[in-house]
């Protein structure tokens, strides 16, 4: 009986040492999981493209410059349509007017137009 208590006590110490040692080893070797924080990039194929363009017309008279701008707009639109873009996908934004004073007696009015074309490549 005297030896039985010593054997049980020794076995308890060995089992406790194995459990503690195993826990320590598992703590030092974390699971094989990759965790990433930060910026990532991925290439993908898009079905939408946006082109932006600008064109200008300058003239002493505002009406003449604006008429030139409208002709240029029609020319740009016809070109885009000839390249296969659908007319409903072409968007022209507002026209801006900028006055520049080159000489005190002769101001030049510059009008600026902006065109933006959006098209869906899958259509």
Secondary structure of 20-58 in HEC code, one letter for each residue: HHHHHHHHHCCCCCCCCCCCCCCCCCCCEEEEEEEEEEE
85 DSSP 8-state letter: -
Q: Is the pLDDT of residue 62 over 70?
A: yes
Binned at pLDDT 50, 70 and 90, residue 108 comes out as: low
* Model pLDDT for residues 74-102, shown as the tens digit of each residue: 998 898 889 888 888 888 877 777 766 55
Which of 44, 71, 42 lies closest to 55, judged by CA?
Answer: 71
112 DSSP 8-state letter: E
Binned at pLDDT 50, 70 and 90, residue 14 comes out as: very high
Cβ contact 21:87 at 8 Å = no
Which structural domains are found in the chain, ordered by start?
48-120 (3.30.1660)
Binned at pLDDT 50, 70 and 90, residue 114 comes out as: very low
Residue % of the chain over a pLDDT of 70:
73
């Amino acid at each position: 009986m005297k030896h039985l208590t010593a054997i049980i006590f020794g076995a308890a110490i060995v089992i406790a040492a194995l459990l503690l040692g195993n826990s320590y080893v598992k703590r030092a070797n974390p699971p094989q999981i990759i965790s990433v924080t930060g910026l990532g990039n991925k290439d993908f194929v898009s079905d939408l493209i946006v082109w932006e363009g600008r064109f200008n017309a300058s003239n002493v008279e505002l009406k003449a410059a604006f008429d030139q701008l409208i002709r240029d707009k029609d020319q740009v639109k016809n070109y885009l349509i000839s390249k296969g873009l659908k007319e409903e996908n072409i968007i022209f934004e507002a026209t801006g007017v900028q006055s520049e004073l080159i000489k005190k007696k002769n101001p030049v009015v510059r009008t600026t137009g902006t065109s933006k074309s959006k098209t869906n490549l899958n259509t």
